[in-house]
A and B are shown apart, each in its own frame.
Chain A
Amino acid sequence: MPVWQRVYEELNDPNFVLICVAEDTGGEAVAGPIFDAAKPTYVQVVDEDHLISSVFNFVNVPSSAWIDEEGRIVRIDEGTYSKTHQFGEGDQAFLFGNDVYTPALKDWVKNGAASSHVQSAQIVARNIREHGINEMKADAAFRLGNLFRAHGEKAKAESYWAMARTLNPESINFFRQNLTLTEEGSGGETFRKLRVEYMEQGKDYYRPLDIKAS
């Protein structure tokens, strides 16, 4: 999150709004301190029910939408990293993120519709994932699970979270969110196995970023 604060400060444009949304069932307890450490001046949302992922049909974090002054989406659903990061250490380490996203974002904020990074409505619509009856029902089940958790009803919470996962198996959000509430955590063996399975099946863990280094 400090990286987004830096980008926001570098842009320093009153007509640009940055909204960072924490998809975290753990709520303020887990997302709050990370936000606070960044001393953010952008808009911060803790989204326990993953509402924003549902609005834009995202299945993973970080994902994003660029929205222009008229409310039109001009880029969507890309692994939204402001720079290259390393996850893990030694043999387990892998790099993720990139160094081309932030310059592209800055170009758009400066040049608007004239930016070469603005995509047509047709391309954007094509890049939005399908979110059919099952995926929508998965959202409803996930939220029901969260409500039961908040009311101490463990068995029901678990059962509706499992339903969400079954109805929307493409959602890495639901899968890893659940792992955060285990001893193993979201970056353990189960996650690594899923990531390998994804790649072996030729599926995008993130949709490839369609931005070339300038």
Chain B
Amino acid sequence: MTRAFGAFPELRHPFEVMPIHAAGQATVLYQGKKVTFTETGKGEGLLIKPSDLHSVNGFELKPEGVCCNDICIPLREGLLIEQGGKQWFDLVAFADLLGQPYVVDQASRVWSFAEVPAKRANMMVNAMAPDFEVKDRQGKVIRMADLKGKKALIVTWSSW
């Protein structure tokens, strides 16, 4: 039988079942990155070690708040949680604070976070291209910042 245009049914589910992470761990998806936490706190949110925050979204805890580049968000109640003598950062509470949508699969303990809305706000006002980061086919990281000083055409296409 001739294959229909743009038909790759064999690619629908070509993979063997394999766990996303070991039992008790948690995984976060954010802007193409996949970060697995070997250690998390207990509770409804996603409690990670404060030192792990940077690996997810570039933010880090500083005396003045939760900061990324020149943005600092003052610490609020519910972001830092003490449990058994350890301090945890609630990534879900932080997303709620930023108005950052997410979808969670609780059974698998995977959180998929959308972009932080504030990072896109400029585009809608002054047409400045938002920062982004993707890898080319050779594995080289392409960032918006790398394109400065040149004209760029970014064009999407697909096999379909």
A-to-B contact residues, CB < 8 Å: 1, 4, 13, 15-26, 28-32, 34-35, 43-47, 49, 51-56, 58, 61-74, 76, 80, 105, 108-109, 112, 121, 124-125, 128, 131, 133, 136-137, 139-141, 143-144, 147-154, 156-157, 160, 163, 173, 176-177, 179-188
Q: Min CB distance, A145 to chain B, in Å?
A: 9
Interface 1/0s, chain B 7-40, versus A by CB < 8 A?
Answer: 1110111011111100000010101101000000
Q: Which residues of chain A are within 8 angstroms of B13 by Cβ–Cβ distance?
A: 149, 152, 154, 157
A140 contacts B123, C-beta separation under 8 Å? no
Q: Which residues of chain A are within 8 angstroms of B126 by Cβ–Cβ distance?
A: 72, 121, 125
A19 contacts B152, C-beta separation under 8 Å? yes
Give the 4 A-B CB pairs with smallest separation, nearest first.
A185-B7, A186-B6, A185-B4, A186-B160
A187 contacts B134, C-beta separation under 8 Å? no
A43 contacts B142, C-beta separation under 8 Å? yes
> CA A148 – CA B15 in complex, angstroms?
10
For this complex, 15 residue pairs linking A to B, each with C-beta atoms less than 8 Å apart, are A15-B149, A17-B150, A19-B153, A31-B158, A61-B158, A67-B147, A71-B147, A71-B148, A124-B127, A137-B102, A139-B114, A160-B105, A180-B160, A185-B4, A185-B5
Q: Min CB distance, B50 to chain A, in Å?
A: 23
Q: Min CB distance, B17 to chain A, in Å?
A: 4
Q: Which residues of chain A are within 8 angstroms of B93 by Cβ–Cβ distance?
A: none
* Residue of B8, B9, B147, B160 touching A176 (CB-CB under 8 A): B160
> CA A55 – CA B130 in complex, angstroms?
7
Q: Which residues of chain B are within 8 angstroms of A72 by Cβ–Cβ distance?
A: 126-129
Q: Min CB distance, A96 to chain B, in Å?
A: 13
| Cβ-based interface call for B45 (8 A) | no
- Chain B, interface residues (CB within 8 Å), range: 35 or more
A64 contacts B115, C-beta separation under 8 Å? no
| Cβ-based interface call for B71 (8 A) | no
B158 contacts A22, C-beta separation under 8 Å? yes
Q: Which residues of chain A are within 8 angstroms of B105 by Cβ–Cβ distance?
A: 144, 148, 156, 160
Given the contacts A125-B123, A131-B120, A143-B29, A24 and B136 also touching, CB distance less than 8 Å: no
B103 contacts A144, C-beta separation under 8 Å? yes
Considering residues B6, B11, B108, B135, which has the most beta carbons from chain A within 10 angstroms of its beta carbon?
Answer: B6
Q: Which residues of chain A are within 8 angstroms of B127 by Cβ–Cβ distance?
A: 72-74, 76, 121, 124-125, 128
* Residue of B7, B34, B151, B160 touching A177 (CB-CB under 8 A): B160
| Cβ-based interface call for B117 (8 A) | yes
Given the contacts A30-B159, A72-B128, A182 and B153 also touching, CB distance less than 8 Å: no
Q: Which residues of chain B are within 8 angstroms of A149 by Cβ–Cβ distance?
A: 12-13, 15
Q: Min CB distance, B94 to chain A, in Å?
A: 15
Q: Which residues of chain A are within 8 angstroms of B114 by Cβ–Cβ distance?
A: 54, 136-137, 139-140
| Cβ-based interface call for B154 (8 A) | yes
Q: Which residues of chain B are within 8 angstroms of A144 by Cβ–Cβ distance?
A: 29, 103, 105, 110, 112
A1 contacts B18, C-beta separation under 8 Å? no
